[in-house]
Amino acid sequence: MNGTTSDPLFDAIVDNNFATFVQLLGGTEIDKTITGFIRKEVRTGILYIHVPTHISPFLLCAKFGRYEMLEFVIQTYSRHLTIFNINQQDSNGHNVVANIILSHEIDDRNCKINCIKLLTCNLSFNINTVNKHRESVLMLAVKVERHYEIVKLLLKHKQINVSLHDQFGNTVLMSASRRQHATIIRLLLQNTNVSVNDCNKCGQTALYQCLCDNEEAGLQCVRQLSNYSDIDVNYAKGRNFTAMELTLEHDMFLTHAMLMHGRI
């Protein structure tokens, strides 16, 4: 993707020109902000606009999935902590892995996974950094169903915290339950530190949230949660319905029976 921008280094990253990137980076502070334009699709195949972007070279490499460039930066600057911070964040509080997860510029899923592996194996990387909405990279990965493999990868990290709460009090398990991602729920329940009965600021548990949309689609999620040994189907905070009460309130008879017996 070519275009005229105010910063040649920006262009080198966007155009995936490694040789120029290395040459230009020699005279650049790696944490400084560079400015350029990224082409954004407004309507598929019809209209494109160029959006001005202000970002550090390191985060821009992540946004475009430039594995070779990321590897070069880490190897070259990792010992210079005064000018390079692997946990740097953009204006939204997104770190380097969050930029990869949320990127629309990376079409190859394996590229995303390889870049994340490169970054998370670095001992200085903080896997539990949160953005301005207090969302961790694990929470962001769960938001998009196609990121199952990334969720699986992040959960293998020894320091991963599955009990963090976002600004609304939701945990990653609640997020997966609200989106009725049964496969991701199963992965999360394999973590010994998961808290199945935590409530968000509305007093809702993960089990409650997977009942709030489509009962048929949520049955598999309910099955995963109701079979968990520590689940409390009668737990809630404040005046909120419990999961059991919600099934009766909305005539979810099959789900109610499942909760009563722990399984179908």
The closest of 99, 97, 77 to 32, measured between CA atoms, is: 77
CA distance 106 to 204: 35
pLDDT band at residue 1 under the 50/70/90 scheme: very low
Q: Which residues of 2-35 are buried (b: 16+ CB within 10 A; e: fewer)?
A: eeebebebbbbbbeebeeebeebbeeeebeeebe
**Domain spans, the chain:** 1-125, 127-264
C-alpha–C-alpha distance, residues 108 and 65, integer Å: 9
Averaged pLDDT, 233-259:
63
pTM score, whole prediction? 0.83
Whether the domain at 1-125 and the domain at 127-264 fall into the same CATH topology: yes
Q: Which of 6-15, 39-48, 241-250 has the lowest mean pLDDT?
A: 39-48
Q: Quick one: which of 142, 264, 118 has its CA closest to 209?
A: 142
Amino acid 264: pLDDT: 38
Task: Report d(CA 202, CA 236) in Å as an integer.
Answer: 9
131-162 pLDDT, tens digit per residue, is 999 999 999 999 876 689 999 999 999 999 99
**What is the dotted CATH code of the domain comprising 127-264?**
1.25.40.20
Q: Which fold has domain 1-125?
A: 1.25.40
Residue type, 64: F
